[in-house]
Amino acid sequence: MNETETKLSLKGNWNVIKGKLKQSYGQLTDDDLAYTDGQEDELVGRLQKKLGSTSADIRHLLEKFNRP
């Protein structure tokens, strides 16, 4: 995994991203989407398990939902 893969800038837009994820994936709970700055890897891991996707797919999804 390279440096850019580990850095997700979710901080300012997290509530918007979280809303989009819940809309798209109704099975996600608030616990699944709990995010604290600096805990991106834990968030990605929880979403991987819940959605059955790869780490790269989850990161791509988060970046997609983070765009205006």
Which residues, at least 6 apart from 67, have a Cβ–Cβ distance to it below 8 Å? none
DSSP 21: H
Across all residues in the chain, what is the average pLDDT?
86
Question: Could you tell me the sign of the dihedral formed by the alpha carbons of 63, 12, 4, 53, in that order?
Answer: negative
Asked if residue 14 lies in contact with residue 30, where contact means CB atoms within 8 angstroms, the answer is no
C-alpha R_g of the chain: 11
For the cut 80, the answer to whether the pLDDT of residue 24 exceeds it is: yes
Consecutive H or E run containing 13: none
Average pLDDT value for residue range 40-49: 95
| pLDDT tens per residue, range 14-23 | 889 999 999 9
pLDDT of residue 52: 96
* Residue-range domains of the chain with CATH: 3-66 (1.10.1470)
